[in-house]
Every structure is written in structure tokens, then in C-alpha cells.
Structure 1
Amino acid sequence: MDKIGGAQKHVEALAIKLKQDAHEVTIVTGHYDPSLWRFQEEKIDVISIPAMQREIHLKKDLQTFWQLRTEFKKIKPDIIAAHSSKAGAIGRVVGRLLRIPTVFTAHSWSFTEGVPHKKKMVYRRMEKSVQPLTAKIITVSEYDRKLALTKKIAPAQKMLTIHNGIDQIEKQVAPNREKQEHPLIVMVARFEVPKRQDLLLEALAELSDIPWHLQLIGDGSLRPNLEQFIATKGLTDRVSFLGNQLDVASLLEESHLFVLLSDWEGLPISIIEAMRAGLPIIATNVGGVNELVSDNENGFLINRDDKDLLKNRLKQLLMDKNSRQKMGDASERRFLRDFTFLPMYQKTLFVYEQAVSKSVKKGD
């Protein structure tokens, strides 16, 4: 949790609400930047295990295993809620050894479409091997649940979809949108694989004859190359790199159009945040994105790497204020109907309670 991402935001929101509802919560993570999260002010304990990292690394993974085992023996949790492929796998092994039920939330399978073939094969085998150690698997999209069934990762009765949800906020009345001289585009994403800020910048560089300004929120290792690309294209005054931002909601409320381009996804919280802000969406049709965005209704879906269609859709919305308004209104209605926080939280808590109850009955 040293970077802001959808899975991390999901964990933070669940942890805070669980704590507010008088449950005892401890976060165990790899690298941790406390300035990005509200755990300290909510008095939620955080244990950082730096050896825990995304990539497979035998020595560090063994260190993580032993450190997790030591921490779980101290904490004696009723349940382990595991997130992300690697931490999820090691956490489930430790949970079984200590006879603690584990619920795994798949935010996007590491064998999903778009992931390199070799990595897909490794993670698919890994998920199959730890599946028997799992009390329940939550997928954040129907796409991911069906993919796991197709790949025979787990039986149907062990999996269920709980769509991501976020809190409603009191909206300002069209705060600064009307004051903006040019349509303001925003993309919120880490500058890391699988995000594709590069494709958006390439498309916009070819639309320099129409008015627009772009804000890129997030940080990561790919950012310096893209800053250089913008300088080369002479677009420095039209693209703002804002880095990590804690108050993304205010920035979205001042924007006119949200874009998220990725090679793969689960169910992006950044799109849900944009829907809450009443924005039209342009997004890559990967993972569960089409469960959020209906093409021609609250935005446009494009295929991976289809720069020509991306340019057309960008131009269409940049030049047509009425379409932006109509699609933005549809986004907000869909958010209020299907993607608010409380239903997601209640369904998730019910899964946790069931897992604990079954464990008690079995005498684990």
C-alpha cells in the first residue's frame, strides 16, 4: 500500500467501515506509505512486511510466509480477507496451516486476457492449487467469475460476484465545469502496466487542432517517458501531471470527460468514481468494464489498442457538450442504482460471517 490503486481503496473502505461497526481489524501489507491512507486516524493497526511484493521471488515469498505465520499467530484472527494474487496465495496457505478461514477477493485475475502468456500460465496453476484452501472467492466482476469457471479455477458454489461500490458524496452544483475555457479530460491510474496513458497521449497529440486539456492523476515508473513524449510534441501547456491526489473527487467534479485505457482490468473503482461525478466515460473494453459502461449510453467502449476509434470518440465528446451532459447523467444514475458502498459492504460482511460460522461448525 505504497501506491494508490483500486484494490487498495477497496481494502481501505472495507477496513474503516468494519472498524466503525466494532469489528477488530488489522491490515497486513507489503510496502506501506501511511500518508496515502486513513488507517492512522481511524486507529486501525497496519503491519508492513516489505518482503511481500507483487512479483514471484522465492526467497522473499518464503520470508513473507514465515512473517505472515508469526503475525497471524499473534493476532489470532477469526478470518483472513486476502487481496491480490501473490498475497492471496501465501495468505491462504498460512490460513490453512493455522486453521483460519480465508476469503479471497479477486480484483482481476492474473491470468486474464491481455496478461503475457507465461505469466498467465504460472498464475492460473497457482490459483488452482490454493483454491481448495479458500472458504469463498469474491470476484468484483461477472467477467472474472465466468473466467474462473471457464479456466476451472474453482467450483461455481465457491465463487460469487460482489461489484465494487463507493460512498455517495454531497455534490457541488457544477462547481467549475462551466468556468473551464476548454473541455477538461481526466485519467486516474498508476503509471504502470497495464494502464495505457501512452495511447491516450498519442491520440490527443493527433487532435491538437481542437480544444482540450488533460489531467493525469497518479504516479509510477512509466511517467518520466510520457512527460518526455509530451515535451517532444509541444503539448506541455495542455497536459498536467498531477501525481497522486487524495481528493480525486473534487478534481473529477471539475472535469468534463473521464478516460481509462488499460490492457486488462477487474472492475475499476476509478470509473465508478467518475460515474459518481456524473462524467461520460471512454474506456477499454476489458475485464468487467462493460459492466460499468454501456457503449453509447453512459460513454464509449473501445477495443485494446484501437487508436483510431479512440480518436473518433474523443473528438465526438470534446465537440458535443450535449452528448457529454446526457452520458454523464446516465453515468450518475447507474452509479446510484448499482455501485454505492453500503450494499457491497453488507454482502461482503455476510460472506465473512458465513465463512467464520462454517469454520466454527467444523471445529477448525
Structure 2
Amino acid sequence: MDKIGGAQKHVEALAIKLKQDAHEVTIVTGLYDASLWRLQEEKIDVISIPAMQRAIHLKKDLQTFWQLRAAFKKIKPDIIAAHSSKAGAIGRVVGSLLRIPTVFTAHSWSFTEGVPRKKKLMYSRIEKSVQPLTAKIITVSEYDRKLALTQRIAPAHKMLTIHNGIEQIEKRAAHHREKEEHPLIVMVARFEVPKRQDLLLEALAELSDVPWRLQFIGDGSLRPNLEKFVADKKLTERVAFLGNQLDVTALLEESQLFVLLSDWEGLPISIIEAMRAGLPIIATNVGGINELVSDNENGFLINRDDKSLLKKRLRQLLLDETLRQKMGDVSERHFLRNFTFTPMYQKTLFVYEQAVSKLAKKGD
């Protein structure tokens, strides 16, 4: 949790609501930047284990195993809720050894389409090996549930889809939205694989005859190269790099178009935030994105690396204010019907309670 991402936001929101509902919550994470999160003000305990990182590293993974084991023995939790592949795998092994039920939430499988073949095979084997140690697997999209079934990761009865959900808010600035002479595009994403800010910049650099401005929200190791690209193409007047932002709501409400390009995805919270703000969306048709964006309804879907279609769709929306408004309205209605926080939270809590009571019955 040293960077802002969808899975991290999901964990934070769940933890805060659980704490407010009088559950005891401790977050165990890898690297941790307290300034990015509201956990301290909500008095939620956080244990940082720097050895826990995304990449496989035998020595650090063993350190993580022993440190997680020590942490869980001290906390004595009723349940472990594991998120992301690495924490999910090691967390489930430790949970099984300590006889603590573990629920794993897959935000996007590490063997999903777009991931290099060797990595796919390795992560698929890892997931199959730790599946028997799992009380329940939550997938954040139907795409991911079906992918796991196809790959025979787990039996159907062990998995269920709970779509990501976020809190509703009162809209503040929507009435200013269409007064912009140069429509403002926004992309909220880490500057890391699998995000494709580079593709968006390449497409926009070839649309110099169209009025547009662009804001990138997020940070990461790929940012400096893209800042250089912007300077080389003399686009600094049009493109702003805003870095990490704790609250993207106001920035989204001041925008006219949301774009998210990725090589793979689960069910991006950034798109749900854009839907809540009533924005039309252009996104890559990967993972569960087509469960959020219906092509030609609340935005446009493009295939991975299809710069030609991306340029066409950008031009279409940038030049047609009526279409932006129409698609944005559909986005907002879709959010209110399907992706609000309370139903997601209630379904998730029910899964946790079931896992705890099942183990209690076994103990009897």
C-alpha cells in the first residue's frame, strides 16, 4: 500500500466500514505509505512487511511467510481476507497452518489474457496448489470467475462474483462540465505495467487538429519516460501529470471524458468512479471491463493496441458534446443500479461470516 490502486482502495473501504460496524480490523501489507490512506484517522492497525512484494523472490517470500505467521499468531484473527496474488498465496498457506479460515479476493488473475505465457503457467499452478487451503474465492468480475473455471483453478461452489462497489456522493461540479472549449480527458492509473498511458499519448499526439486537454492521475516508474515524450512532442500545454491524488472525485467531475487503457484488468474501480461522476468512457476490452462499459452505450470499447480505433473514438467524443452527455448519463445510471458500496459490502461480509461459522462447526 505504498501506491494507490483499485485493490488498495477496495481494502481501505472494506476495512473502514468493518471498523465502523464494530469489527476488529488489522491490515497486513507490504510497503506502506500512511499519507495515501485514511486508516490512521480511522484507528485501524496496519502492520507493514516490506519483504512482501509483487515479484517472486524466494528469500523475501520465506521472510514474508515467517513474519505473516508471527503477525497472525499475535492477532489471532477469526478470518484472513487475502487480496492480490502474492499476499493471497502466502496468506492462505499461513492461514491453513494456523487453522484460520481464509477468503481470497482475486482482483485480476495473474494468469489472465495479456500476461506473458510463462508467467501465466506459473501463476496458474500456484493458484491450483493453494486453492484447497481457501474457504472461498471472491472474483470481482464474472470474467475472472469464468476464467478460473475454464483453467480449473477451483470448483464452482468455491467461487462467487461480487462486483466492486463504491460509495455514492452528491455531485458538485457537473453543471460546469460542458462549458469547456477544450474537452478535458482524464486517466486514473498507476504508471506501471499493465497500464497503457503511452498508447493514449501516442493517439492524442496524432489528433493535433482536435481540441483536447489531458490529465494523468497516478504515479509510478513509467512516468518519467512519458513526461519526456510529452516534452519532445511539445504537448506540455495540453498534458498535466498530477501524481497521486487522495480524492479524485472533484477532478473527475471537472472532466468531460474518462479513458483507461490496459493490457489486462479485473474490474477497475477507476472506471466505477468515472461512472459515478457521469462520464463517458473509452476503455480496453480486457478482463471485466465490458461488465462496466457497454460499447456504444456509456462509452466505447477498443481492442488491446488498436490505436486506429482509439483515435476514431477519441475524435468522435471530443467533437460531440451531445454524445458525451448522453453516454455520461447512461454511465451514472449503470453505477447507481449495479456498483454502489453497500450491496458489495453486505455480500462480502456474508462470505466472511459463512467462512467463520463453517470452521466453528468443524471444530464442534
TM-score (norm 1): 0.99
Q: CA deviation at 1:175?
A: 5.0
Instruction: Answer yes or no: is the 8 Å Cα contact 1:175–1:254 preserved in 2.
Output: no
1:8 and 2:24 aligned = no
Q: CA deviation at 1:176?
A: 3.5
The correspondence of residues 43-122 of structure 1 with structure 2, limited to 5 A, is 43-122=43-122
CA distance in 2, matches of 1:208, 1:244: 27
Task: Please list the CA deviations of residues 303-332 of structure 1 after superposition, one character each: whole Å capped at 9, or x if unmatched.
Answer: 000000000000000000000000000000
Query: In structure 2, what is the equivalent of residue 275 of structure 1?
Result: 275
Query: Structure 1 counterpart of 2:210, which letter?
Result: I
CA distance in 1, matches of 2:174, 2:251: 12
Query: In structure 1, what is the equivalent of residue 216 of structure 2?
Result: 216
Query: In structure 2, what is the equivalent of residue 329 of structure 1?
Result: 329
Query: In structure 2, what is the equivalent of residue 146 of structure 1?
Result: 146
TM-score (norm 2): 0.99
Query: In structure 2, what is the equivalent of residue 233 of structure 1?
Result: 233
CA distance in 2, matches of 1:329, 1:3: 31
Task: Please list the CA deviations of residues 256-305 of structure 1 after superposition, one character each: whole Å capped at 9, or x if unmatched.
Answer: 00000000000000000000000000000000000000000000000000
Query: In structure 2, what is the equivalent of residue 287 of structure 1?
Result: 287
Q: CA deviation at 1:174?
A: 2.0
Query: In structure 2, what is the equivalent of residue 127 of structure 1?
Result: 127
Q: CA deviation at 1:177?
A: 1.9
Query: Structure 1 counterpart of 2:161, which letter?
Result: T
The correspondence of residues 191-210 of structure 1 with structure 2, limited to 5 A, is 191-210=191-210
Q: CA deviation at 1:21?
A: 0.2
CA distance in 1, matches of 2:28, 2:175: 39
1:168 and 2:184 aligned = no
Counterpart secondary structure, 1:74: helix
Instruction: Answer yes or no: is the 8 Å Cα contact 2:173–2:250 preserved in 1.
Output: no
Task: Please list the CA deviations of residues 126-164 of structure 1 after superposition, one character each: whole Å capped at 9, or x if unmatched.
Answer: 000000000000000000000000000000000000000
Query: Structure 1 counterpart of 2:60, which letter?
Result: K
Query: In structure 2, what is the equivalent of residue 352 of structure 1?
Result: 352
Q: CA deviation at 1:179?
A: 4.2
CA distance in 1, matches of 2:174, 2:93: 50
Identity among equivalent pairs (%): 87
Counterpart secondary structure, 1:208: coil
Counterpart secondary structure, 1:258: strand
Query: In structure 2, what is the equivalent of residue 183 of structure 1?
Result: 183
Instruction: Answer yes or no: is the 8 Å Cα contact 1:175–1:253 preserved in 2.
Output: no
The correspondence of residues 291-306 of structure 1 with structure 2, limited to 5 A, is 291-306=291-306
CA distance in 1, matches of 2:195, 2:173: 31
Q: More deviation in 169-178 or 88-97?
A: 169-178
CA distance in 1, matches of 2:342, 2:151: 31
Query: In structure 1, what is the equivalent of residue 42 of structure 2?
Result: 42
CA distance in 2, matches of 1:49, 1:98: 19
CA distance in 1, matches of 2:198, 2:331: 25
Instruction: Answer yes or no: is the 8 Å Cα contact 1:230–1:236 preserved in 2.
Output: yes
Counterpart secondary structure, 1:81: strand
Instruction: Answer yes or no: is the 8 Å Cα contact 1:92–1:133 preserved in 2.
Output: yes
CA distance in 1, matches of 2:185, 2:16: 31
Query: Structure 2 counterpart of 1:81, which letter?
Result: A
Instruction: Answer yes or no: is the 8 Å Cα contact 2:187–2:260 preserved in 1.
Output: yes
CA distance in 1, matches of 2:317, 2:181: 16
Instruction: Answer yes or no: is the 8 Å Cα contact 2:191–2:219 preserved in 1.
Output: yes
Counterpart secondary structure, 2:177: coil
Q: CA deviation at 1:181?
A: 2.8
Query: Structure 2 counterpart of 1:256, which letter?
Result: Q
Instruction: Answer yes or no: is the 8 Å Cα contact 1:141–1:163 preserved in 2.
Output: yes
Query: Structure 2 counterpart of 1:136, which letter?
Result: K
Q: Could you tell me which runs of 5 or more consecutive residues in structure 1 were left unpaired when the two chains were aligned.
A: none
CA distance in 2, matches of 1:250, 1:125: 43
CA distance in 1, matches of 2:236, 2:122: 41
Instruction: Answer yes or no: is the 8 Å Cα contact 2:178–2:256 preserved in 1.
Output: no
Q: CA deviation at 1:178?
A: 3.8
Counterpart secondary structure, 2:109: coil
Query: Structure 2 counterpart of 1:225, which letter?
Result: N
Instruction: Answer yes or no: is the 8 Å Cα contact 1:185–1:259 preserved in 2.
Output: yes
Q: Could you tell me which runs of 5 or more consecutive residues in structure 2 were left unpaired when the two chains were aligned.
A: none
Q: CA deviation at 1:247?
A: 1.4
Q: CA deviation at 1:180?
A: 2.6
